[in-house]
Structure 1
Amino acid sequence: MVRMQSPSTVILTGASGFIGQHVMRQFTEQQAGCMTLDIRAIEGGEAKSSSVRAADGTLHDFSEVRDCTLVHLAWCPPVRDTLRPHARQVKLLAELLEAYGDSFGRVIALGSAEEYGSAGGRLQEQDAMNSGLSPYGWGKRSAQTLLETWCGLNDKAGLWLRPFTVYGEGQQGNMAVPYAVRQALQREVAEFSDGTQQRDFIHVDDVARAIYLAAGASWTGFNVANLGTGTGTRLRDVLEQIAVLFDAKDLFRYGVYPMRPGEPDVQVAATERATELFGFTAEINLDEGLRRMQQAIRQQHGGS
């Protein structure tokens, strides 16, 4: 049984991002306190004068915060062709930890399934790779190493979460699901690979709930945990469901692009560690998650 504790003050970075918005909503619905920090204030030597913002909008001097839990979500978009933006994010995390380390009792940070590189199958946390990674995967892997080292040096507890293929309302960018939805809404042709690769699709609300549970559980030491459903689904099957939901079957073209070099056929999360550490099991199946996404997006577009 997972032992829960009275939640400490939670400081959240990346609150305006895709996952961050859902995490904020989760904490608000649970009436749990959560403050936000704009990590951009770390740059330019402004760290020591930074403030955190409470849910009611009031600002608090960070120097007054003690024994809080940092939930670090802030990151740049997953750019695939250059290392520099990801190196910058690793540097920002280092500066954040150095500036505010005395305030943090524990740190929860978000990694990525891209840390597994070309490894395929049902992936355990120890299967992460140190070579053959995308720039995004390299950045996240480097950030995990940084956090683990900092926790060891400072006798702090850390939790590195690796969500697999996250999807849901509010997602932007050129990953397959948001790209497919955007093209469908704009009534423009969308071009894909054959889509035969199987991935573990997890709804963003499940990820947000996992982070909330992790913040309230009493784990110690440094830990790594996958976030997924434990079930693989062909990308093409997901895209075909999106095509039906958004009436876009005539717009989607498959087999236009080749698979990326080294892309594994199957990547599915081993989920036992998250259950053991903080009692998380994904609850939203793919059909429900895609319908939820479609309904939310239709409402945002006036039901059109």
Structure 2
Amino acid sequence: MNFKNKSVLVTGASGFIGSHVVQALLHEGANVRAFVHYNSMNTKGYLDQLTKDEQNGIEMYMGDLKDPHGVMNACKGVDTVLHLGALIAIPYSYVNPTDVVQTNVLGTVNIAQAVRHHGIARLVHTSTSETYGTAQYVPMDETHPLQGQSPYSASKIAADKMIESFYCSYELPAITVRPFNAYGPRQSMRAVIPTIINQALHEDEIRLGNLKATRDFTYVEDTARAFLHAASCPSVGEVINAGSGFEISIGELAEKIKKMVGRDIPITVKQDRLRPEKSEVDRLFSNSDKAQSMMGWKAQVSLDEGLSRTIEWMKQHKSLFRPDEYVV
């Protein structure tokens, strides 16, 4: 798809990945409508960190995914919907599972209904590697079993299946992107990489949870490209992984970041940062061959390069982070 002058709605536009998707679309000449969760302070999340020129190029729509009427209005007149809106924090889902289900499942149904109603040409739905749970085999392709090991992952499995059902039942022109552990500039300390970097830069120790768990980290600009590729892909009704195709343990990652920032400080395990035993996802390692064969996408930024860019950005934006706080 040529995005020049195309009208694209991005839900979750104020979030980490969403804000990078918005930037990528603006760079391609798209007319971007950003669906942002309403708040009385009129803040727009990570979109507030974009340049003024970028912000001026965005049409803002303040609303709530749980409101079907607002979602219907937001989708009116667009060519494509990139649905990234969700409640994503796993620790939060342990405490407030109903909120997570209502936003992630009902919000997705509202989007699917609006896409049907308006006859929108393409919906790109966002899944997560958390839907796979702990790897039963590696590398993990799209046929890997789904496991609801947290309320968050269960809500995303349900959302994915609702999109599948709308494709099968109504020929909804949808494709699902399943990212693996995106990281990069603007990510909050809810995620492990900015947590490690911030503590490595400013604290006397690095406090983490499970050090043995492995993840497949993908630089956020690569992840954002995957959504644009999915919007242009001729196939629909597919689920496509978007990962880098490697794994590294959290402990090894912390050691690597320590060396990169030049500070040899201890790493300690904190009980409050551990997931419940049966909820822990011990291993994620993607097979993203389908992304390359079906839509011409593969990750391009190495872990070392991505970490270097992220460290430098966090050094320049120290005021945005609180290294001593555990963010859920």
Give TM-score scaled by structure 2 length. Answer: 0.77
How much does 1:11 deviate? 1.3
Gaps of 5+ in 2: 38-62, 320-328
How much does 1:285 deviate? 0.6
Corresponding residue to 2:102 among 60, 65, 88: 88
Match of 1:211 in 2: 227
Corresponding residue to 2:13 among 11, 15, 25: 15
CA 86–279 in structure 1, closer or farther in 2 if over 3 Å, else same: same
**Greater per-residue strand proportion:** 1
CA 161–45 in structure 1, closer or farther in 2 if over 3 Å, else same: closer
Matched, 1:275 2:292: yes
Contact 2:209 2:274 in 1 (8 A): yes
AA matched with 1:31: G
Match of 1:300 in 2: 317
How much does 1:100 deviate? 4.5
Give secondary structure in 2 for the equivalent of 1:38: strand
Give the alignment of 1:219-234 within 5 angstroms.
219=235, 221-234=236-249
> What is the rounded CA distance, in whole Å, between the counterparts of 2:171 and 2:305 in structure 1?
42
AA matched with 1:71: L
The superposition leaves residues 4-42 of structure 1 with CA deviations (integer Å, 9 ceiling, x where unpaired) of x44453211111100011111111222233322236345
AA matched with 1:96: I
Contact 2:66 2:106 in 1 (8 A): no
CA 107–177 in structure 1, closer or farther in 2 if over 3 Å, else same: same
Give the alignment of 1:189-208 within 5 angstroms.
189-193=205-209, 195-208=211-224
The superposition leaves residues 215-238 of structure 1 with CA deviations (integer Å, 9 ceiling, x where unpaired) of 22322x300011111111222121
Matched, 1:74 2:74: no
The superposition leaves residues 249-298 of structure 1 with CA deviations (integer Å, 9 ceiling, x where unpaired) of 32532587767524454321011111122100100010000001011122
> What is the rounded CA distance, in whole Å, between the counterparts of 2:234 and 2:149 in structure 1?
32
How much does 1:43 deviate? 4.3
Matched, 1:50 2:65: no
> What is the rounded CA distance, in whole Å, between the counterparts of 2:251 and 2:127 in structure 1?
25
Corresponding residue to 1:252 among 262, 267, 275: 267
Deviates further, 281-290 or 80-89: 80-89
Corresponding residue to 2:177 among 137, 151, 161: 161
CA 218–254 in structure 1, closer or farther in 2 if over 3 Å, else same: same
Q: CA RMSD in A?
A: 2.6
* Number of residue equivalences: 284
Corresponding residue to 1:109 among 109, 125, 129: 125
Give secondary structure in 2 for the equivalent of 1:140: helix
Gaps of 5+ in 1: 52-61
CA 94–48 in structure 1, closer or farther in 2 if over 3 Å, else same: closer
Matched, 1:235 2:233: no
> What is the rounded CA distance, in whole Å, between the counterparts of 1:212 and 1:17 in structure 2?
17
Give TM-score scaled by structure 1 length. Answer: 0.83
> What is the rounded CA distance, in whole Å, between the counterparts of 1:300 and 1:259 in structure 2?
29
- Aligned-pair identity in percent equals 24
The superposition leaves residues 102-157 of structure 1 with CA deviations (integer Å, 9 ceiling, x where unpaired) of 2222211111111011234211111132x442111111100001111122222222
Contact 1:164 1:269 in 2 (8 A): yes
CA 183–139 in structure 1, closer or farther in 2 if over 3 Å, else same: same
> What is the rounded CA distance, in whole Å, between the counterparts of 1:70 and 1:146 in structure 2?
16
Contact 1:13 1:38 in 2 (8 A): yes
Deviates further, 72-81 or 95-104: 95-104
How much does 1:179 deviate? 2.0
The superposition leaves residues 183-207 of structure 1 with CA deviations (integer Å, 9 ceiling, x where unpaired) of 3454253322462232211111110
Match of 2:323 in 1: none
> What is the rounded CA distance, in whole Å, between the counterparts of 1:44 and 1:133 in structure 2?
28
Contact 1:47 1:96 in 2 (8 A): no
AA matched with 2:156: K
